[in-house]
Amino acid sequence: MREFSNLIGGEPRPADRTLDSVDPSTGRAWARIPRSTAGDADAAVTAARTAFPAWSAMPAAGRAHLLREVAGVFAANARELAELETRDNGRIITETARRDLPGMTYLWQLAAAECGAAVEGRTVILGPGSLGFTRRVPYGVVVGIIPWNSPISTFSAKAAFALAAGNTVVIKPAEQAAASTLRLGELLREVLPPGVLNIVSGLGEEAGDALVRHPGVNRISLTGSTETARIITRASTDALKPLAFELGGKSPNIVFADADLDRAALGVSTQSVFTANAGQVCVAGSRILIQRPVFAEMIDRITAITRGIRLGDPLSEETTMGPIVSAEQFQRVTGYLEIAAKEGAELVFGGRSGGEIVDEAYAGGYWVEPTLFTTEDNALRVCQEEIFGPVAVALPFDTDEEAIAIANDSAYGLAAGVWTRDLGRAHRMCRDVEAGTVWVNTYRKMPPGLPFEGLKDSGYGHDSVLANTREKSCLIET
């Protein structure tokens, strides 16, 4: 059993109690992480507050230099970090090693390049002898609460830009998958000044609650569930903390008859919901809207593609889909398979779960097949509720207006996909579909240069350098 510690004030800090971290491909514990208390959370915030004056006063060029060194740590330790994350949450190694780690190295380099933007302001000539100007200032201590489905990526998005802006940071990883983040703490303590970055693992109702209620915390950024966001909102009201939430989704993937159907079939299946971390991604295009003239043809194409999906050892380069992250999430996903059947949705393929669909060595893991249902009723629970697994529903539509109506008939508004050769239609869809991000003829691409922000129950706010600063106005008269 591998042991991991918190990072507080630049030093490894074990907690008095621990939690087992379970390998979801086998169902067996492989590591222990701290089950932090309110006292651990307070120590981390205190360390961050102590480090804040010097870090925020450091010239932007100095912070940029250190963030480039952090990028170097990611590059030098990429394989180890990728394997840790794969073992901890089941995300296949081809995603963690080829997609996540190279992307995060670039993200830290980008954050370093944007340090200067954090200190830029505006000048306004108000009249003779009267000059107004603004300064961008950091908030102070920023808490980042990150999910289990993509810890390294969300850790980087929250920590890199907050640090670039001059804030100090406390990260709370999800208890289901904290190992890669805690290992990063071990590595980065050699680069960043003590207290600038702190990492505290544990349960949300213990360490997480203590952090969001702490009077020394100045901003909170969560990537997680809508229900967790509501809890944090209620817990943080006394201190009026600024909040940023990137939450769940039930994203529509809209295929028009004029689309490149081969490209669309790949986009709505392996790039969107099934092999994309076994559907455990917030932007999963789990509602596949297909124009009626090509509905049957698209279902056939999707079915043919999913026959090639291989479940198994997430550390194998040959595996194309991993397990569900935990026993709790496995029960949730398989419960929706039963709900869909009871609601009358028609099963196209999949629907099986458990150890019989993988090699015997992984029979104890949390496995669910890629599964597709069809229906014409967008009111079904499997069309409205976020499943967070490799389960999708296909619905036919006739007109552009009907596609928009179905797409927008959701409490969520995180992302959407549109597949068409018609440029005018593409622009109308970008305008009229209620989603923070709309992809056209592609899916699940999130370059750091573009903001990623949800609508409706999918949250608000984002993690950029400017989002981690406030604009302070000054007026001088002579």
Q: What is the pLDDT of residue 95?
A: 93
Domain range summary for the chain, segments of one domain joined by +: 2-247+458-477, 252-451
Q: How far apart are the first and last CA of the chain?
A: 68
Q: In 3D, which of 453, 108, 156, 159 has the Cα closest to residue 282?
A: 453
pTM: 0.95
pLDDT at 238: 81
d(C-alpha 115, C-alpha 123), whole Å = 20
Residue 447 has pLDDT above 90, yes or no: no
Contacts of 24 (CB under 8 A, 6+ apart): 89, 90, 322, 323, 324, 325, 326, 365, 366
Catalytic residue from among 85, 95, 246, 386: 246
Can you give the pLDDT at residue 99? 87
pLDDT at 332: 97
Lowest mean pLDDT among 169-173, 242-246, 267-271: 267-271
Q: Give residue-wise pLDDT tens across range 195-212.
A: 999 999 999 999 999 999
Residue type, 410: S
Give me the half-sphere count of Cα atoms (radius 13 Å) on the Cβ side of residue 397. 22
Nearest C-alpha neighbor of 204 from the set 187, 217, 223, 186: 223
* pLDDT the model gives residue 364: 96
* 59 within 8 A of 29, measured Cβ to Cβ: no
Measured between alpha carbons, how far is 253 from 246 in angstroms, rounded to an integer? 19
Residue 449 pLDDT > 80? no
Cβ atoms within 10 Å of 421's Cβ, excluding its own: 12
**Average confidence score pLDDT of the chain:** 95
For position 240, what pLDDT does the model report?
Answer: 84
pLDDT of 463 reads: 92
Q: Go through 281-312 and write b for each residue having 16 or more CB atoms within 10 A of its CB, e for each that does not.
A: bbbbbbbbbbbeebbeebbebbbebbeebebb
The DSSP output letter for 24 is: T
pLDDT exceeds cutoff 90 at 172? yes
Determine the Cα angle at 158 with ends 245 and 446, to 5°. Answer: 80
Catalytic residue check, 190: no
Report d(CA 155, CA 144) in Å as an integer.
8
Residue 115 CA to its chain's centroid (Å): 23
Alpha helices in 189-244 (DSSP H): 209-213, 226-235
- pLDDT at residue number 336: 98
C-alpha dihedral sign at 392, 398, 402, 404: positive
278 by Cβ neighbours in 10 Å (0-12 / 13-18 / 19+) ranks as buried
Query: Tens digit of pLDDT for each residue in 19-68?
Result: 999 999 999 999 999 999 999 999 999 999 999 999 999 999 999 999 99
Q: Cβ(232)–Cβ(212) under 8 Å?
A: yes
At the top level of CATH, the class of 2-247+458-477 is alpha beta
Q: Is the dihedral of CA 436, 440, 441, 445 positive or negative?
A: negative
> Is the distance from CB of 327 to CB of 355 less than 8 angstroms?
no
Scan for tokens 């060029």, then name that residue.
61
Tell me the pLDDT band of 160, cut-offs 50, 70 and 90: very high
pLDDT per residue as tens digits for the range 289-332: 999 999 999 999 999 999 999 999 999 999 999 999 999 999 99
How many whole angstroms separate alpha carbon 349 and alpha carbon 127?
71
Phi and psi torsions of 135, nearest 5°:
-125, 140
**What is the rounded average pLDDT of the residues 57-84?**
97
Give pLDDT, residue 15. Answer: 86
Q: Are 384 and 248 in contact (CB under 8 A)?
A: no
Predicted pLDDT at 276: 87
Of residues 445 and 252, more confidence is placed in 252
The answer to whether residue 174 scores a pLDDT higher than 80 is yes
Return the amino acid letter for 400: D
Task: Give percent above pLDDT 90 in the chain.
Answer: 91
Q: How far apart are CA 182 and CA 46, in angstroms?
A: 19
Q: Which residue in 291, 301, 224, 304 sits closest to 253, CA to CA?
A: 291
Contacts made by residues 349-357, CB under 8 angstroms, sequence distance 24+: 349/303, 349/306, 350/306, 350/390, 350/391, 357/311
Instruction: Assess whether pLDDT exceeds 90 at residue 446.
Output: no
- Fold annotation for 252-451: Aldehyde Dehydrogenase; Chain A, domain 2 (3.40.309)
- Give residue-wise pLDDT tens across range 117-133: 888 888 998 888 899 99
241 φ/ψ angles, rounded to the nearest 5 degrees: -75, 140
* The pair of three-digit structure tokens given for residue 103, joined into one six-digit string: 């992307």
pLDDT at position 420:
98
The answer to whether the Cα torsion of 183, 186, 189, 195 is positive or negative is positive
Q: Which residues pair with 141 in a beta bridge?
A: 168
